[in-house]
Amino acid sequence: MKQLYTKQYIAQQVARLGIEIDRDYHNKEILMIVVLKGAMMFAADLAREIDRPLSMDFIQVSSYGGQTASSGEITFKKDIETDIYGKDILIVEDIIDTGLTLQILKQHLLKRKPASLKTCTLIDKQKHRCVPIESDYCGITMDDGFIVGYGLDYDELYRNLDAIYTFDPTQQLAQGDA
Ligand code: 5GP
């Protein structure tokens, strides 16, 4: 595993995003919809960088499982519990890659008529984008490669690493070696 983004670099980007969101949501209350499980660490840190009234709900869609490439099929595992009609929604996602997950999530939530719907993603991977979608807020832009750490998993492992690493499953090490 090779470290790609340090804990300090990630924290700087999260703080910057908090400032941008604070500024844009002036006078508004935010309902953060966190996409489980990958965005949990990011959302927890981001929420604490936002100095506005804020509530949180959670949604879960299918993940890569033991794969490192998107299956292209998105299934809902858990829906939100809040009525979002007339509310200002910020979807918090770990990674936008092909863009399919974010597109389907947006369509799903827009049917419930929120006052506004924006997206904030920690990582924007541009190479495999197959739908014309961009995130309103983005922490880090990268080109390609599979990554783990800071909430991101490979087969449910490595989420607890505090930095982000490139990961090659053919050279998998014990977590203590990271
Ligand atoms: P998309 O639908 O945009 O292709 O994929 C988005 C989802 O795929 C992300 O929410 C994330 O769960 C997963 N994903 C994409 N790239 C990576 C990666 O490099 N590492 C991990 N752990 N998950 C990824």
Extract the tokens encoding 39.
Answer: 């965005």
Annotated active-site positions, please?
97
Query: What residue ranges do the domains of the chain occupy?
Result: 2-177
User: Does 94 contact ligand 1 (Cβ within 6 A)?
Assistant: yes
> Which of 10-19, 73-82, 99-108 has maximum average pLDDT?
10-19
Q: Which residue is closest in CA terms to ligand 1's atom 5?
A: 97
Confidence of residue 72 (pLDDT cuts 50, 70, 90): low
Using the atom order of ligand 1, give the atom closest to the CA of residue 148: 22
Using the atom order of ligand 1, give the atom closest to the CA of residue 145: 19
User: Does 50 contact ligand 1 (Cβ within 6 A)?
Assistant: no
Task: Give me the CATH topology for the region 2-177.
Answer: Rossmann fold (3.40.50)
pTM for the full model?
0.92
pLDDT digits (tens, 9 = 90+) for 93-137: 999 999 999 999 999 999 999 999 999 999 999 888 999 999 999
31 C-alpha to ligand 1 centroid (Å): 23
pLDDT of 7 reads 98
97 C-alpha to ligand 1 centroid (Å): 6
Using the atom order of ligand 1, give the atom closest to the CA of residue 94: 10
pLDDT of 170 reads 78
Confidence of residue 67 (pLDDT cuts 50, 70, 90): low
Using the atom order of ligand 1, give the atom closest to the CA of residue 152: 22
Res 65 pLDDT > 90: no
Res 178 pLDDT > 60: no
For the residues 56-80, what does the mean pLDDT come to?
78
CA distances, 97 to each of 35, 84, 109 (Å)? 14, 26, 20
Over the chain, what is the mean pLDDT? 92
89 C-alpha to ligand 1 centroid (Å): 21
Share of the chain above pLDDT 70, in %: 90
Best CA proximity match to 33, nearest among 7, 61, 74? 61
User: Does 124 contact ligand 1 (Cβ within 6 A)?
Assistant: no
User: Does 38 contact ligand 1 (Cβ within 6 A)?
Assistant: yes
Confidence of residue 169 (pLDDT cuts 50, 70, 90): confident
pLDDT of 57 reads 98
User: Does 100 contact ligand 1 (Cβ within 6 A)?
Assistant: yes
